[in-house]
Amino acid sequence: MSETGSRLRRLECRACCSEFDPDRAVGTCPTCGHTLLARYDLEEFDGRAWRASWPGRDASLWRFRELLPVRRSESITTLGEGGSPVLPLGSVADAPGVELWIKDDGGLPTGSFKARGMAVAISRARELGLSDLFVPSAGNAGLALAAYAARAGLRARIYLPQRTPSSVRSGCAAYGAAVTEVPGTIREAGEFARRTEKGRGSFDLSTMREPYRVEGKKTMGLEIFDAMFPDRFPDAIVYPTGGGTGLVGMAKAFAELRALGLLERAPRLLAVQPAGCAPVVRALRDGAAAATPWAEPSTIAPGLLVPAPFASERTLEAVRMSGGGGIVVSDHEILAAMRSLGSRHGVSASPEAAAPYAALAGLYHDRLIRDGERVLLYGTGTGLAFSIDELARQLSPA
């Protein structure tokens, strides 16, 4: 067992069933190029004793350290991430009889849930001796990588679509990262980044292209379990979906809790995407095994502007195995949801974080959520960096 107690055993590819040594720095599966997931030794692990230890630990996500991949405490790179609040919203007219809650990650370091994945990925990169990192990002992931790389003393390069808000570009630069702007969407930024970085010996921290951001996102599910089980545990979780790592991470958390005998029933996972870029929801509705690229993507929610999510098979699998589904919302509905969350509930929400609230009427109409159920909306980031008036101008006819 490691000094942190981490029970990390191997990396596994679900696509080709290959297994790899986790102490080797690896991105995607060397055999087939698909996503690798971390697997843990759970067979002789006392899950109930583990859960009983949580209240006496630091409130950060590292209190779940036995099911996180970092083996040495000295490798942990933290800015105090995790432990975000779960807040009641009561009921709303769009979903009568549904008990609503929101988990608000807007107060995490760098203002979003991306702090979870990057904290774990950077800590593991540090442990594996990596020093030169890059990521294509629509915004929040770039900010998180820049901040955590600075904390760890590692080099970071961020590739941003040109339409990224200037506050993100300046924020990444303020953390000391090198920033490159690329025409197009996150898809083009990723393609340019990988061409540019080829041969440099740098490590790609893109969504689903390395094993450990999923592990950080897994803590979303662990924290929901910690805060709400058993009496307030949700029937469904509504999640704004771009790259889909959060859905994969939460599904992984609930599967591991079931393996430990701590959970019998996992919540349904419901993916929300904007009408102008919804490849995952389209694949869910079509019964497709993988998402196909979305033509002419457009939305006011930069983190959801992911026209061709990598390893979408894993995201679709997570949703389908939970008995969940997906829905689209318009940019006008997202904007209205941002206003409502702020003025009615006191919650500052980015466009991405407002998307689940915007989806309530459609989810209720389609019976993806029902009267008498408890439903958790996942608020992925703060809206403080966004001007609602400016977003409204973007939606106004020229």
Mean pLDDT of the residues in the chain: 97
Specify whether 368 is located in the same domain as 272: yes
In a domain, 80, yes or no: no
Q: Write the CB contacts of 170 (distance below 8 Å, at least 6 apart in sequence).
A: none
Number of domains in the chain: 3
Q: Is residue 2 domain-resident?
A: no
Q: Are residues 107 and 119 in the same domain?
A: no
3-state helix, strand, coil in the chain (%, to 5): 40, 15, 40
Do 188 and 235 share a structural domain? no
User: What local confidence, expressed as pLDDT, does residue 162 receive?
Assistant: 92
* Beta-bridge partner residues of 132: 155
- pTM > 0.85: yes
> Does residue 107 belong to any structural domain of this protein?
yes
Minimal CA–CA distance to 347: which of 377, 374, 326?
377
List 261's β-bridge partners, or say none.
none
Summarised one tens digit per residue, pLDDT across range 4-59 is 999 999 999 999 999 999 999 999 999 999 999 999 999 999 999 999 999 999 99
Q: Is residue 1 part of a domain?
A: no
Average pLDDT over residues 122-126: 98
CATH number for the domain harbouring residue 340: 3.40.50.1100
Residue 44: both structure tokens together: 């002789």
Q: Is residue 247 part of a domain?
A: yes
Tokens 């997906």, residue? 326
Instruction: Convert the pLDDT of each residue in 294-346 to its tens digit.
Output: 999 999 999 999 999 999 999 999 999 999 999 999 999 999 999 999 999 99
Question: Rounded to whole angstroms, how far apart are CA atoms 266 and 92?
Answer: 24
Same domain, 239 and 324: yes
pLDDT at 355 over 60: yes
pLDDT at site 90: 87
Same domain (yes/no): 222, 161: no
Domain identity same for 92 and 200 = no
Q: Which of 204, 225, 240 is the last residue of a domain?
A: 204
221 and 99 together in one domain: yes
Residue 260: inside a domain: yes
Mark whether 384 and 323 lie in a shared domain.
Answer: yes
Burial 352-383 (b: 16+ CB within 10 A, else e): bbbbbbbbbbbbbeeebbeeebbbbbbbbbbb
Element (H, E) at 136: strand 132-136
Task: Scan for tokens 């008036």, then name that residue.
Answer: 389
Say whether both 103 and 174 belong to one domain: no
Residue 132 and residue 99 share a domain = no
Nearest Cα to 12, choosing from 298, 177, 211?
211
Q: How far apart are CA 14 and CA 36, in angstroms?
A: 7
Based on the fold, state whether residues 382 and 272 are members of the same structural domain: yes
Q: Are residues 178 and 226 in the same domain?
A: no
Domain boundary among 204, 227, 255: 204
| Residue 280: domain span | 86-112+212-395
Residue 143 lies in a domain: yes
